[in-house]
Structure 1
């Protein structure tokens, strides 16, 4: 059985994902401002073959029109079930954006920096994942009881966000010099966490 930190959090910002219930769950990529990138990342972060990863939380920061920012906080220990399908998860996101209450999902009117400040206050050790960062290895992952990873979408984080992270002295780590899909990064980080701990 793998040991894991007491808590793992992923914070992912999409610059384009829509912030209103105006998209079709059948086409989240085209109608949701590449919401599919976020949906795929949520699924791989929270779902494993045995069910929901109860020790993982996910902050999905939506930065697209018409009402940014909106953050969807998926709470692993509270979620009843996590769908395998992007389309089914898109239906859940649609309901939350409409104001429906879904167990284990909070809608917050917060941006990336707000969420990061909250997590730092809660005692998380946070890293910003970027191909220009230091190569990640087990030395970064063995000790924190609460560890978190900040990622961008297909466009990456904007300059203002990166400057804010630097001002908060959040260390930049990488999976190498290649830019990977966000969901692939999440999968690789989880693999390293389970291997290292």
Structure 2
């Protein structure tokens, strides 16, 4: 869903699997006592008419994100009501939530100093990868994952990092 009103009562159906994005966002940002301030989440919305849209959530500045799915979806849905900004130009929707036009390839270009991992069920566990590459400890890591649709294009093959899957970390 690139633009429009988000159906909060049917996120998994008519919401275009927006529920997957909401769950990934809350899992990445929320702890039992607050927000992870060292985490940034970028959601890519490519469904529906119009060009792809990106939403960026910054744990250090984000305000108003709650654990329940409906309120988190409502917060993200506010951005869908706005006209989309141009590709590569980030505009604040609310504190800690920005929007921009753009696709996965744009995000990967912005992450040019990060090691990027594609979370993939066929790869070795992530904790094993980190054990084999201790120099990555403390560095900027980016993770790319998809919903129920396979990742297509975006410059993933041959980028920094290898295809990895989540481990017990």
Normalization by structure 2: what TM-score? 0.84
Runs of 4+ residues deviating >4 angstroms = none
- Could you tell me which runs of 5 or more consecutive residues in structure 2 were left unpaired when the two chains were aligned: 83-91
> More helix by proportion, 1 or 2?
1
- What displacement does 1:174 show? 2.0
Q: What is the TM-score normalised by the length of structure 1?
A: 0.72
- The 1:21/1:93 distance shift into structure 2, 3 A limit, reads farther
The alignment covers a number of residue pairs equal to: 156
Q: How does 1:33-112 map to 2 (within 5 A)?
A: 33-99=16-82, 101-112=93-104
Partners of 2:93 and 2:53 in 1: how far apart? 16
Unaligned runs of 5+ in 1: 1-17, 176-187, 193-197
Question: What is the rounded CA distance, in whole Å, between the counterparts of 1:54 and 1:81 in structure 2?
Answer: 14
What is aligned with 2:164?
173
Equivalent residue number for residue 126 of structure 1: 116
What is the distance in 2 between the residues matched to 1:83 and 1:143? Answer: 30
**Secondary structure class of the residue paired with 1:45:** helix
Higher strand proportion (structure 1 or 2): 1
Which one scores higher on RCO, CA 8 angstroms, separation ≥ 6?
Answer: 1
CA RMSD of aligned residues (A): 1.9
Cα distance in 1 for residues equivalent to 2:125 and 2:30:
26
Partner of 1:115: 107
Q: Distance in 2 between matches of 1:104 and 1:112?
A: 20
| Structure 1 position 130, deviation (Å) | 0.9
